[in-house]
Amino acid sequence: MKRSITTPAVFKIGHSKWLGNTLYGVHLLAAIACWQAQLAGEISAVLLIFVLMSLIFQRSGYTKSACFLYFRDDKGWFLSLDGKTSKPVLIKKITRLPPFFVIMTLCVEHDSKRLMICRDSMTQDMFRRLNVLLKITH
């Protein structure tokens, strides 16, 4: 059941400490597993280098600037990665774990992207409003 929303909504999605800590924790566990595995020294070193490269790559992608998600009743959803220009998006799929995060699969200009929004990446009230708006519009 879709209802009409009269005011535009703007959601600034910032960095999440929870997601950053989880990222470090998973890579730390992978590094410990590589170190403790009964493998030859060279293989263990190569695996540790891969884990370190993965952490650097994931962290550099994570530290990009905040993005914005807009909703207008007459036009739908928009995504802005720089805060200046926005592109219309089609929300294909939404996965919710309401107290913790929302994962959306978006179609932006024929390209599919996933956007994970953790509860600490915006204010609690904005996160609640986003969840309600997503339930109403999808």
- CA-based end-to-end distance of the chain: 8
- Distance in angstroms (rounded) separating the CA atoms of residues 121 and 68: 11
DSSP state for residue 98 in the 8-state scheme: T
Residue 3 lies in a domain: no
- Distance in angstroms (rounded) separating the CA atoms of residues 7 and 60: 35
Q: How many domains does the chain have?
A: 2
Residue 116 lies in a domain: yes
**pLDDT(133) > 50:** yes
Q: What is the pTM of this model?
A: 0.73
Residue 4 lies in a domain: no
Could you tell me if 71 and 80 are in contact, meaning their C-beta atoms sit under 8 angstroms apart? no
Q: What is the mean pLDDT of residues 67-73?
A: 87
Could you tell me if 86 and 75 are in contact, meaning their C-beta atoms sit under 8 angstroms apart? no
Residues 110 and 132 in one domain: yes
Residues 130 and 104 in one domain: yes
Residue 75 lies in a domain: yes
Residues 94 and 130 in one domain: yes
pLDDT for position 109: 86
Residue 1 lies in a domain: no
**pLDDT(132) > 60:** yes
Residues 80 and 124 in one domain: yes
Residues 32 and 96 in one domain: no
Q: What's the full length of the chain, in residues?
A: 138
Domain that holds residue 36: 18-62
pLDDT for position 2: 53
- Distance in angstroms (rounded) separating the CA atoms of residues 90 and 25: 33
Instruction: Write the CA distances from 76 to 15, 48, 70, 118, integer angstroms.
Output: 25, 45, 8, 22
**pLDDT(54) > 50:** yes
**pLDDT(1) > 50:** no
Residues 74 and 115 in one domain: yes
